[in-house]
């Protein structure tokens, strides 16, 4: 809801027009067996750009491979959410002035949380950013992102509690448990940010 309304609001404020479907998963030809590539080939005939949110991790990549108009990735499965990352980095820069050298803690669902995946990739373009990961064992950051940071000479440290985070931390980025992406009960989130927690950091 938030992603859709923010994109639609931006489109209208910029003076463009839009056509949309509220839930293409249940209200489009995909229900009849149409593959994503064919859906994109049809929809691109109606528009100058396509904003797409999809449950498949590779949806945006697939769409780009066949589309003649720009594809804006508004979230692909548990993979990426680059539009959200742009907003997050804008917010960090607005408050911290500079991003180089900041210390960032990522918390919660680091395995399935697509927003944190995109944020780490975008922040990795800056210099000397240091990362800390705090999550349940089942939701640790996938190795591919740990490796990506290592290859860019950026430090990523796994911690087990708020007490292990540096007191001069600049950013806490918390994602919710993506319970819809797995079966089973993993219980409630243990690492909850409260005022008491915030008081620990300068």
Known catalytic residues? Answer: 2-3, 32, 53, 81
Per-residue DSSP letter, 175: E
* Alpha-carbon separation of residue 162 from 13, 101, 112, 133, 176 (angstroms): 41, 20, 21, 10, 17
* Alpha-carbon separation of residue 145 from 44, 67, 77, 111, 154 (angstroms): 32, 28, 16, 10, 11
Which residues are registered as beta bridge partners of 173? Answer: 106
Q: How far apart are CA 85 and CA 27, in angstroms?
A: 28
- Which tokens is 110 given? 């680091």
Q: Is 173 helix (H, G, I), strand (E, B) or coil?
A: strand
Report the 10 Å Cβ neighbour count for 3: 14
Q: Nearest CA to 176 among 155, 199, 193, 201?
A: 193
């Amino acid at each position: 809801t938030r992603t859709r309304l923010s994109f639609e609001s931006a489109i209208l404020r910029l003076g463009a027009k839009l056509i949309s479907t509220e839930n293409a998963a249940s209200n489009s030809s995909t229900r009849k067996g149409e593959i994503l590539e064919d859906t994109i080939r049809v929809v691109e005939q109606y528009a100058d750009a396509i904003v797409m949110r999809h449950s498949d991790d590779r949806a945006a990549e697939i769409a780009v491979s066949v589309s003649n108009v720009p594809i804006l990735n508004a979230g692909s499965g548990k993979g990426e959410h680059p539009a959200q990352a742009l907003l997050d980095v804008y917010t960090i820069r607005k408050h911290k002035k500079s991003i180089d050298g900041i210390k960032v803690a990522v918390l919660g669902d680091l395995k399935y949380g697509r927003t944190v995946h995109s944020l780490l990739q975008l922040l990795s373009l800056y210099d000397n950013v240091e990362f800390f990961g705090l999550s349940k064992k089942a939701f640790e950051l996938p190795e591919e992102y740990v490796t990506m940071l290592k290859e860019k000479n950026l430090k990523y440290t796994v911690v087990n509690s708020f007490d292990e985070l540096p007191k001069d931390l600049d950013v806490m980025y918390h994602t919710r448990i993506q319970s819809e992406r797995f079966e089973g009960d993993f219980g409630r989130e243990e690492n909850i940010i409260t005022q008491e927690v915030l008081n620990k950091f300068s």
